[in-house]
Amino acid sequence: MPTISTPSKIAGTKSHGANVVFSGSTSDEREAVTADIIKKTGATLVPPYDHPDIILGAGTQALELEQQVEDMLAADPSLGVPGKKRLDAVIAPIGGGGMLSGICTALHGTGIKVFGAEPNFEGSNDAELGLKQGRRIEKVKTLTIADGLRTPVGEIPWSIITDKEKLEGVYSVSEEQITAAMRLAMERAKVFIEPSAAVGLAVVLYNEEFRRFVEGEGKEEGWNIGIVLSGGNTTMEAMAKLFQAPAKAMERAEGKVTVNGEHVAENVPG
């Protein structure tokens, strides 16, 4: 792990029984330390996203989600769009793209549409921009609060998400939209998530282009959309930093901050 990792993340990793070895924070430094460990111990490298096994493994969550929604709607149809017995779409975060391309692979041929969600601060929407430009963006330098999504899309994930039969599209959101979605997930749904996890919810709530697309496709009845919230690897101190700025926080709490013209504090579904 990079030496700059948050202490609670290091402690959490150790508590699972891991032997943590430290490195510098650049990819060169990390890869050098990794190569050294492999050389010394014969360890096997488990890459974070750019490998078929990782992609297929991450994709199994889509099979679970698909089944759980079918079971849930069979037990209580009122939980979904009237008359529909399954998901119409799934939206998930895209950083390196291992998880999203796995979901694309798992749901290919089911008729369930797959979307990616990204932050757009300082060009962190490399997947969205890359798809528009028709080429993979290989370098991203951003300090978006969605720190799990600062990575450019990997080569194998790129080869999957560029297949229009597998991915419908990628939409992006601002830092403020991500924060507003985090607030909703935590204060109302009581789910503790990191900023990277909130991008899908933020797209569904605040991205006008996405919302128009769904209105066009779903018509009056609407869609059942599965939103992947991945993950929750953050600390209370990081949360405090995001939500403490006194003036801004007070305005937000008083409903004066707007996102796409809507008052955030009052824009909470019942």
Site string for a second copy, 8-37 (x = CB under 8 A): x--xx-xxxx--------------------
CA distance 188 to 204: 16
Contact between 75 and a second copy (CB under 8 A)? no
Phi, psi of 262 (to 5 degrees): -105, 140
Site string for a second copy, 134-173 (x = CB under 8 A): ----------------------------------------
User: Tokens for 25?
Assistant: 């924070």
- Closer to a second copy by Cβ: residue 192 or 213: 192
- Closer to a second copy by Cβ: residue 111 or 246: 246
Which 168-187 positions form the footprint of a second copy (CB under 8 A)?
182-183, 186-187
Name 156's Cβ contacts closer than 8 Å, sequence gap at least 6. 50, 51, 52, 55, 101
Q: Which of 245, 249, 257, 239 is nearest to 195 (CA)?
A: 239
Site string for a second copy, 203-242 (x = CB under 8 A): -----------------------------x-xxxx-xxxx
Bin 81: left if φ > 0, else alpha if -120 < ψ < 50, else beta: beta
Nearest approach, Cβ of 249 to a second copy (angstroms)? 5
Contact 118, 125 (CB under 8 A): yes
Phi, psi of 269 (to 5 degrees): -60, 145
Alpha-carbon distance values, 133 to 130, 167, 168 (Å): 5, 16, 16
Nearest approach, Cβ of 169 to a second copy (angstroms)? 29
Which 250-269 positions form the footprint of a second copy (CB under 8 A)?
250, 253-255, 265-266, 268-269
Among 193, 203, 204, 228, which residue interacts with a second copy (rule: CB under 8 A)?
Answer: 193
| DSSP three-state, residue 57 | helix
- Closer to a second copy by Cβ: residue 213 or 243: 243
Contact footprint for a second copy (CB under 8 A): 6-8, 11-12, 14-17, 182-183, 186-193, 232, 234-237, 239-244, 249-250, 253-255, 265-266, 268-270
